[in-house]
Structure 1
Amino acid sequence: MIRGASLRGFACLVEELGGDPREFLERFAIPPRALTSEEGIVPITSHDLMLDTVARELRCPDFGLRLACAQDLSVLGRLALAVQASSTVAQALECASRFMFVHSPALSVGVEPDPRGRREVVALTYRKDLRESPYSPQAMELGLGLFHHVALALVGSLAGLRSVELPHQPLSPVSRYTEFFGADVKFGCPTAALRVERRLLDKEFDSADATIRRLAVEYLADHHTDPERLVSTQVRRVLTASVGAAPAMIASVARLLSMHPRTLQRRLAAESTGFEEILDDVRRDLALRYLTTTDLPLGQVAAMAGFSDQSALSHAVRRWEDATPREVRRRVRGAA
């Protein structure tokens, strides 16, 4: 999932391009309130597919970068308070890395060694967990563009920015990227990142406030649990990797997690969920991903999502989406 705040500016930008934002929301089963209630959450796969589709259908290859310009640090909600009140860039990045899951469990930021081996340079990385959702070029440009936009606002100048790295090939003329980032942009890289001089990490913020930061961090820690610590996250990942290749049985998953099945059931119940509920959610994510991002025959989609046959897939998709698999595929792809 991802917070609805990630769609701030979406409606205005789509309308400027001559599109109907509500039509796109309906097509991707995203509730209209996502545009007005930024604290709500939406499926990140639907969110990202919608961005890619809007860019393609409205012929706006730099849609993600444009949307980044309409946003600021406040899209991160309470996490923004902790980041802004940090004393240095390094402390702000540590906080963002620790609590980015509050915005979306599938996204992460971090500080890593320079991929090009320069000791005086570090990489400020921006990643999406592809175990949770497919790669999206437009969403990646939105995220990295916002990362750059926020860093510029907090620091005042990114004179230490050496280059920008993107995993995909350019969607727009390269000049559009260099104009946006104010630096050299390289494509086809392993990880999205801003390569900056290491000294930038020590840059102090004028907005630093130790008390506000402490209160914000305490609130985040008390009200949000890191999904990485949940047993349900481990079960979900085991099922995501095995559904369609092996029978989805709680005994098998428990064995992989070095637990007794009854212990696993108790741990999941303590997290207000259950094995069958997680399995259904994983099958839903896989089925909808294959339906909306590939041209695979429905029988093959059914097998890869762990269903016994195409009929079982159709019944499940009707339950989830109130539509047939073919209708879901047509809805997402629109006129195409």
Structure 2
Amino acid sequence: MIESLHGDAASLVVRVGLPLAVLDNDEILVRDTSIAALLELAAAELDCADFGLRVALEQNLDLLGPLALAVGNSETIGEALDCTSRYLFVHARGLSVAAVPDPYLVRGVIAYRYGYPPGVYATPQSVDMGLLFLHRAITDLAGGPYGLRSVEIPHAPVAHPERYESLFGVNAVRYRRSSALLRVPKHLAEQPISGRNRSAHELALRFLQQQPNNGTTTLTTQVKTYLRRTLGTIRPTLDATASEMSMAPRSLQRQLRAEGSSFGACLDETRRERAEHYLRTTRMPVGQVAAVIGLDSPASLSRYADRWWHTTPRRFRLIDPAALSAVRSPGISPM
């Protein structure tokens, strides 16, 4: 791509600290931050504002190797996206694709969030590339247009807005949002994927389950990622989480304890993080925030908020984020 735009790929690769060998060997693993830096540098040096979008147009699911085999042979699109989030660490540490409530509270609509955990900055070119790649992958899995409602982008447009609208196929592309999202019909997750091969799916999953995290992704992080993805959709239990991790409940607790954590701590921290996100970045009623973090009532959220922040959910919305360190509480929900 760089050379097609008359750039010096070798020079740019060296300038972001990558080995020249990455130009000839797709098997070399590199840091996400290095790829993001390369995208930004290339866009600037080549005066190509839509560089990340162009890169996405050159990519397809095959780029993901065995993960592509598992995704493309999943039973439904929802299962495919869940599989992507669970095993994306093989290609990108910390990156995830997760179903989240629609930020505009439109009935029958959900959103798929692309990106890193809250607080981790993703550069504009890398977001553009990843979000368009996700859109194209879903289009392929669905066999055509899938009812995309809008695209939510966390930064200002770096390319002409018409470029985004053309590539995503919708006029509703919104910028400077809190997260990178594709808003889609809720029923999309249930759409079957045609031509699936169950044996290929199971074979790919067995391979992915054997891949080491190389110490980068702890079991605690994996559990929190799973809880973040499922809060508000299924009841968060130790047994269900252990089954997702392909572990016995006692083994899961024992390994979490070895990391200085527990299932209760993971659930509490994930709920607090998600509650803070929704209270800070959306206008969701308190009752709905309680529901999407897996609590049964606004009163339950109020009790949690009192322990977490020593205030009510409504008052928390008014607190200056800079003052949060003074009101946080490290307490753990009893489980």
**TM bracket (short chain):** 0.5 to 0.7
Which letter maps to 1:189?
Answer: R
Q: How far did 1:19 drift?
A: 0.7
Inter-partner Cα distance in structure 2 for 1:170 and 1:28: 24
**Whole-Å Cα distance in 2 between the matches of residues 101 and 259 of structure 1?**
22
Give the number of equivalent residue pairs.
Answer: 225
Per-residue CA shift, 1:247-266, capped at 9, x if unaligned? xxxxxxxxxx99899xxxxx
Choose which of 139, 142, 147 in structure 1 pairs with 2:129. 142
Deviation at 1:31, TM superposition (A): 1.4
1:205 corresponds to 2:193:
yes
1:161 aligns with 2:151: no
Aligned 8 A contact 1:87 1:205 in 2: yes
2:64 aligned with 1:73: no
After TM superposition, list the pairs within 5 Å mapping 1:189-204 onto structure 2. Answer: 189-204=177-192
Q: Give the TM-score normalised by structure 2.
A: 0.63
Q: Which residue of 1 aligns with 2:101?
A: 113
Partner residue in 2 for 1:181 = 168
Could you say which residue in structure 2 is the equivalent of 1:152?
139
1:227 aligns with 217
**Displacement of 1:187 after TM fit?**
0.5
Alignment deviations for residues 133-152 of structure 1 (CA, whole Å, 9 cap, x no partner): 64210001010011011111
CA distance 1:90–1:22, shift in 2 (3 Å): same
What RMSD in Å do the two structures reach over aligned CA positions?
A: 2.5
Alignment partner of 1:122: what SS?
strand
Pair 1:20–1:121, CA change in 2 (3 A):
same
Output the TM-score relative to the length of structure 1: 0.63
Query: What is the percent sequence identity of the aligned residues?
Result: 36
Measure, in 2, the Cα distance between the counterparts of 1:200 and 1:90.
7
Partner of residue 26, structure 1: 14
Structure 1 residues 216 and 172: alpha-carbon distance in aligned structure 2, compared to 1, 3 A threshold = same
Contact preservation (8 Å) 1:30, 1:46: yes
Instruction: Output one character per residue of 1:267-291: Cα deviation in whole Å (capped at 9) or x when no partner.
Output: xxxxxxxxxxxxxxxxxxxxxxxxx
Which residue of structure 1 aligns with residue 77 of structure 2? 89
User: Structure 1 stretch 33-42 or stretch 93-102: which is displaced more?
Assistant: 33-42
Q: Distance in 2 between matches of 1:260 and 1:80?
A: 31
- Asked whether the 8 Å contact 2:90–2:211 carries over to 1, the reply is no
Single out whichever of 88-97 and 155-164 deviates more from structure 2.
Answer: 155-164
Counterpart in the other structure of 1:292:
none
Unaligned runs of 5+ in 2: 225-255, 261-335
